[in-house]
Structure 1
Amino acid sequence: MAPPRHRHRGFSRRIQYGLFFGYVAAAMGAVAGIALLLIARFDPVAFEGIRGLALDVTTPVSVATRPIVRGTESLASDVGDYLNAARTNRMLRQQLAESRRALVQARVLAFENARLKRTLRLVGEQVRPIVAARIVGSSLSGMRRFATLAAGSTDGVRPGQPVRAADGLVGRIAEVGSHAARIVLLTDGGSAVPLRVVRTGEAVLGEGRGDGAIEIHSTTAAGSGFRRGDLLVTSGVGGVYPPDVPVAVVMRTSGEIAAARPLADPARLDFAIVLPEQATPPPLAPPAGRRGR
Structure 2
Amino acid sequence: MISTLLVANRGEIACRIFRTCADLGIRTVAIHSDADEGALHTRVADTAVRLPGAAPAETYLRGDLIVKAALAAGADAVHPGYGFLSENADFARAVQDAGLVWIGPPPQAIEAMASKTRAKELMGLAPLDAHDVSPADLPVLVKAAAGGGGRGMRVVRDLAALPGALEDARAEAASAFGDGEVFVEPYLENGRHVEVQVLADTHGTVWTLGTRDCSLQRRHQKVIEEAPAPGLAPALTEQLYALAERATRAVSYEGAGTVEFLVADGRAHFLEMNTRLQV
User: What TM-score, normalized to structure 2?
Assistant: 0.25
More helix by share: 1
User: What TM-score, normalized to structure 1?
Assistant: 0.25
